[in-house]
Amino acid sequence: MSVPNKDTVIAVIGSGAMGSGIAQVAAAAGHEVLLFDNNEEALERAMDKLRKIMDRQAEKGRMSRTDADALLGRIKPSRQFEAIAAAGLVIEAIIEDLEAKKNLLSHIEIMVDEECIIGTNTSSLSIASICGACSRPERVLGIHFFNPAPLMPLVEIIPAVQTSGDTLVETRNMIDSWGKTTVTAKDTPGFIVNRVARPFYGEALRIYEEGIADIPTIDWAVKEIGGFRMGPFELMDYIGNDINYKVTETVFEAFYYDPRYRPAFTQKRMTEAGWLGRKSGRGYYNYAEGAKNPEPTKDDVLGKKIVNRLLVMLINEAADALYLNISTRDGIELAMTKGVNYPKGLLQWADELGVENVLKEIEALQHMYGEDRYRPSVLLRNMVRDKTCFYPEKIMEN
Q: Residue 295 in contact with residue 217, Cβ under 8 Å?
A: no
pLDDT surpasses 70 at 254: yes
Nearest CA to 19 among 71, 95, 103?
A: 95
- Per the residue annotation, which of 123, 124, 241, 244 is the catalytic one? 123
List 11's β-bridge partners, or say none.
Answer: 34, 90
Q: What SS3 class is residue 30?
A: coil
Reply yes or no on whether 377 is catalytic.
Answer: no
DSSP codes of every residue in 221-290: IIIIIT--SS-HHHHHHHH-HHHHHHHHHHHHHHTTS-GGGPPPHHHHHHHHHT--BGGGTBSSSB-STT
For the segment 378-397, the average pLDDT, to the nearest whole number, is 91
Tens of pLDDT, residue by residue over 42-64, are 999 999 999 999 999 999 999 99
Assess whether 194 carries a catalytic annotation: yes
Residue 395 scores a pLDDT above 80: no
pLDDT, residue 3, reads 54
Phi, psi of 391 (to 5 degrees): -125, 70
Domains for the chain: give ranges and CATH numbers. 10-187 (3.40.50.720), 194-398 (1.10.1040.50)
Is 147 catalytic? The answer is no
- Cα–Cα distance for residue pair 376/362, rounded to 1 Å: 6
Which of 85, 144, 142 lies closest to 115, judged by CA?
85
Catalytic member of 20, 126, 144, 316? 144
Q: Is 64 helix (H, G, I), strand (E, B) or coil?
A: coil
Read off the pLDDT of residues 290-315 as tens digits, 9 standing for 90 and up.
999 999 999 999 999 999 999 999 99
Amino acid at 148: P
Q: What does the pLDDT average to over 65-94? A: 97
Residue 385 pLDDT class (50, 70, 90 cuts): very high
User: Sorting pLDDT into bands at 50, 70 and 90, what band is 325?
Assistant: very high
How many CB atoms are located within 10 Å of the residue 291 CB? Answer: 10
Rounded Cα gap, residues 187 and 24, in angstroms: 27
CA atoms within 13 A on the CB side of 354: 4
Confidence band of 198 (pLDDT split at 50, 70, 90): very high
- Which of these is catalytic: 156, 170, 203, 234? 156
Q: What pLDDT, on the 0 to 100 scale, is given for residue 398?
A: 59
Percent of the chain predicted with pLDDT > 70: 98
396 — pLDDT class (breaks 50, 70, 90) = low
Catalytic residue (choose from 194, 244, 327, 377)? 194
Catalytic, 209? Answer no
Pairing of the two strands 181-184 and 154-159: parallel
